[in-house]
Chain A
Amino acid sequence: NAGVTQTPKFRVLKTGQSMTLLCAQDMNHEYMYWYRQDPGMGLRLIHYSVGEGTTAKGEVPDGYNVSRLKKQNFLLGLESAAPSQTSVYFCASSPRGQNQPQHFGDGTRLSIL
């Protein structure tokens, strides 16, 4: 029972490098989300998707891009990493419908040097 799986779990990048974080869910959920978690600030929504082929900006989208080519996958890209993007990134998914809980992955710890 995998739920939401994030790859990789840890990564260190140099400023200016690019990378893609992968999120996969096996619960057939319609909605998927990418958050970043920084000390004392809770989780802030970066981008989200309400279905295959659709994405939308969240609270802090600058410097990130996303794609949802398949229903079960949601990719988060950093085109040119900056130290301010050092954070722990969480992916989540939820079924369609009001008040549905979100299911979270275990996170990706990303450090930008």
Chain B
Amino acid sequence: GDSVTQMEGPVTLSEEAFLTINCTYTATGYPSLFWYVQYPGEGLQLLLKATKADDKGSNKGFEATYRKETTSFHLEKGSVQVSDSAVYFCALSEWTAGNKLTFGGGTRVLVKP
């Protein structure tokens, strides 16, 4: 079955540092890939997505490129802020009834001033 593996946290960074969160996936078909973010006490919000190979999703300074050859979708941001402290989830969806998502375990990121 489908699965998503992402680096375990927590990841602790200083403000303005470069952030990378690794995500790899296993899928039987040709999935769409997503990054969701969860701020403390809130539900998940879509951060970005990519639907085909070599697509780059971007939002709020975050980027991720769909790499089919390495089955990866790593999240990057060039200069993090304290407000980026959150839990980040990588997820995939295959085209089946209901658009079900398969999530990775989540990576907690803490940005210190």
Contact = CB atoms under 8 A, between A and B. Distances in A.
B101 A45 contact: yes
Given A42-B105, A97-B99, 19 more contacts: A33-B101, A40-B106, A41-B105, A42-B104, A43-B89, A45-B100, A48-B100, A49-B98, A50-B98, A56-B98, A90-B43, A92-B43, A92-B44, A98-B32, A98-B99, A99-B32, A104-B45, A106-B43, A107-B42
Contacts of B8: 40
Contacts of A106: 41-43
Interface residues of B, number: 24
A99 B51 contact: yes
A25 interface: no
A54 to B, nearest CB: 10
A102 interface: yes
Contacts of A44: 103
A36 B95 CA distance: 22
Contacts of A45: 100-101
B11 to A, nearest CB: 14
Interface of A: 4, 31, 33, 40-45, 48-50, 56, 58, 90, 92, 94, 97-102, 104-107
A99 B105 CA distance: 21
A43 B43 contact: no
B77 interface: no
Interface of B: 4, 8, 32, 34, 41-46, 49, 51, 89, 93, 95, 97-101, 103-106
Contacts of A31: 98-99
A60 to B, nearest CB: 12
8 contacts: A4-B43, A40-B8, A43-B101, A49-B98, A56-B97, A98-B95, A104-B43, A107-B42
Contacts of A105: 43
Contacts of A90: 43-44
A75 to B, nearest CB: 17
Contacts of B101: 33, 43, 45, 102
